[in-house]
Amino acid sequence: MKIRKIKVSKNMYNIKNWGERYYQISKFGSILVYPNPNNTENFIDLFELTKNTKISNKKYPYTVSFPQILKNRVKLINYCFKRAKKKYNFFGKYIFVYPIKVNQNHYVIKSILSTKYTVGLECGSKAELMAIYSFAISKKTIIICNGNKDTEYIKLALIGKKIKYKVYIVIEKIQEIKLILQSINDISLFPHIGIRVKLLEEKKYNKEEKNSFYNKYKFGLSIRDIVKIVRFLRRNKILKKLDFLHFHIGSQIFDIKYIRKSIKECVKFFIEISKLGIEVHYIDVGGGIAVDYSGIRNHQSSKNYEMQEYANCIVKYIKNACQENRLLFPTIITESGRTITAHHKVLISKVTFTERSRYKKILSINKQSKIIKLFWKKKKNLIQSIKTEKKLMDGIDEIEKWFQKLQKKYKNEKIDIFTMNLVDQIYKNFFHSIFKIFEKMHIKNRKIQEKIEKEIAEKMHVNFSIFQSLPDIWGIKQIFPILPIHGLNEKLSNRSILVDNTCDSDGIIKKYVGNGNIKKTLLMYDYNINNPPVIGFFMIGAYQDILGNFHNLFGKTKNFIVKISRRKKLKIKQISSNDKISDMLNFTNINYKNFINNLENKKNKNDLEEKNKIIRYIKSFLKKSTYLE
């Protein structure tokens, strides 16, 4: 029976697809983490990990990072391109370049660089370039400088070349070539140069995206600007310094057909620029490959292709272009940062309070007011009349009309608060009753199902901040896999909606990964509110750390790095702590010390002991976490 329930959980949370074998459910109903999916003997039980002495005495929320997953992802993308090169007889090289904007944390960059593969790094600002220099990187490592540039940025890049790093300055605006020539006089060194090409294809990768017109103009040089730059370089006899083409084909591209279209355009430009006498050594197609956050395949939070198909597409078109036009094979570069980092990090927290939504019998209905008797009778008759899908829809419409009329009466002070309380319970009871009917009738109407589930859903308050830990949920309506990390061998019977600690109406999660589609409620096992579940928020390794903000002054959470040895021994290291209340006040330049000084200087001989007690409490309070304890 338990095995059957585990199978239901696997299907319901779609873990097989988005987990990509890094995350699975154990026979005991807990989440297992496989840092190397090919080694099925080495795994970490996520729920047991929370009981580890190095973690168990730490309060929620916290994040757990698995650097071995990062290394495995780097290995996987290199393996896919190796296979693609072999399949299409492509004899050029492939280099994965990590754009550090995706996650600039030290352990992330260090883990990615510590593989046996040649890995490059990409920056988009002066600060990011300085961060890259801070690593003891190999002289073979290619460094790509993107973003808007001033003289200082260019000089810093030239200094990198002077200390023997392979630094490419990618021109994105026509005036940057003049800044480069000005900087050469100070550094006495000419840089490696690349150009970022603005693609003509107007992309609409995201079905909900309405500003694709503006995205078309965000990155790169127009054909007109590129022709000007080529003429300028030729005139100054430095055209040979240009040997790097950079493209931005998009981000989180869920459909492979858009990747094909963009790569075809990249290849077309490669051929045309080669005709101008430019020998291209590097083609950087940027990122584009999507992360499968939901496993649904036909949704923008997912993808309809595998990494191997992505690699095959790029290698095939570039190889054919070289062969048909007798061009030298360039080195192919991709900057798929999101797909490398997303899987490695999990946010873990606990439910602090649950607003239950259960069927509650109305006692002594005959003794209730006339309004309650009528509404109760209406509910009963509607339930009894439901025999078809149409009757079900009519019943929902009718009960809502009644409920809205009674709400209006309450607002107009025609019924009191106690009567309204009973009205609300009868309304909820209706949806609890028809949900059983809905399931028995096997109706496949998603709109009806979502309406009923939303009405009967419980509200689970979880100790975290969406704006700090999952800002993309708020900012771009990103979907992340969310589920309890234990109890998955129990029957999934409760519908829930998760809300965070913040005092903001947007601090609520409205979409959840479901079986075959996106759900508006999270399916949970029936738990004791005195022993609430531990919730895992998965796939948060890309962008969330850096984009997180301090709404309501909820600070950063502590982070643990977890590794597992070949002998199955865990190595746990805490690399950051929760921000304290004092940290948040300092961040906002609030001088709380004046408040303490005023208390200390306050003259009150009668209550001296009480005053000192208050001061001690406030000082200890400032050292506490911003989250609930």
Separation in Å, CA 47 to CA 56, 369, 509, 532, 614: 11, 50, 23, 13, 39
181 and 123 share one domain: yes
258 and 110 share one domain: yes
pLDDT of residue 96: 97
SS3 state at 63: strand
pLDDT of residue 214: 41
Please check whether residue 422 lies inside any domain of the structure: yes
Please check whether residue 572 lies inside any domain of the structure: yes
493 and 437 share one domain: no
- What CATH code is carried by the domain that includes residue 503? 2.40.37.10
What integer is the mean pLDDT of 139-152? 91
pLDDT of residue 265: 94
446 and 495 share one domain: no
Instruction: Give the tens place of pLDDT for each residue, 377-423.
Output: 999 999 999 999 999 999 999 999 999 999 999 999 999 999 999 99
pLDDT of residue 215: 47
Q: Virtual CA dihedral for 368, 374, 380, 385, nearest 10 degrees? A: 170
- What CATH code is carried by the domain that includes residue 336? 3.20.20.10
Domain boundary among 388, 420, 455: 455
Please check whether residue 321 lies inside any domain of the structure: yes
Which among 54, 25, 20 has a CA at the least distance from the CA of 38? Answer: 20
pLDDT of residue 430: 95
Domain boundary among 392, 420, 455: 455
502 and 533 share one domain: yes
133 and 265 share one domain: yes
148 and 287 share one domain: yes
> Rg of the chain over CA atoms, in angstroms?
29
506 and 604 share one domain: no
The percent of residues above 90 in pLDDT, for the chain, comes to: 74
Please give the Cα distance from 100 to 366 (Å, whole number): 69
Give the single-character DSSP code of 236: T
pLDDT of residue 604: 67
**Residue 399 is inside which H or E element, if any?**
helix 389-411
254 and 146 share one domain: yes
Instruction: Give the tens place of pLDDT for each residue, 157-167.
Output: 999 988 888 99
List, as one string, the DSSP characters of 540-566: --SSHHHH---GGG--PPEEEEEEE-T
pLDDT of residue 297: 82
Residue 425's domain comprises 370-455
Please check whether residue 258 lies inside any domain of the structure: yes
Highest mean pLDDT among 175-184, 574-583, 602-611: 574-583
Q: Virtual CA dihedral for 388, 391, 392, 397, nearest 10 degrees? A: 170
Residue that is written with structure tokens 């072999």 in the block: 86
pLDDT of residue 201: 60
Highest mean pLDDT among 199-203, 330-334, 489-493: 330-334
287 and 171 share one domain: yes
Please tell me whether the overall predicted TM-score, pTM, comes out greater than 0.85 for this model: yes
Tell me the average pLDDT of the chain: 91
Please check whether residue 102 lies inside any domain of the structure: yes
Please check whether residue 564 lies inside any domain of the structure: yes
Please check whether residue 494 lies inside any domain of the structure: yes
497 and 618 share one domain: no
What integer is the mean pLDDT of 542-568? 94
Please check whether residue 219 lies inside any domain of the structure: no
Give 545: exposed, middle or buried? Use CB within 10 Å, 0-12, 13-18, 19+: buried
587 and 574 share one domain: no
Domain boundary among 455, 486, 519: 455
pLDDT at 19 over 80: yes
Structural domains counted in the chain: 4
Please give the Cα distance from 233 to 241 (Å, whole number): 9
Residue 140's pLDDT band (cuts 50, 70, 90):
confident
pLDDT at 213 over 60: no
Which among 111, 120, 164 has a CA at the least distance from the CA of 145? Answer: 120
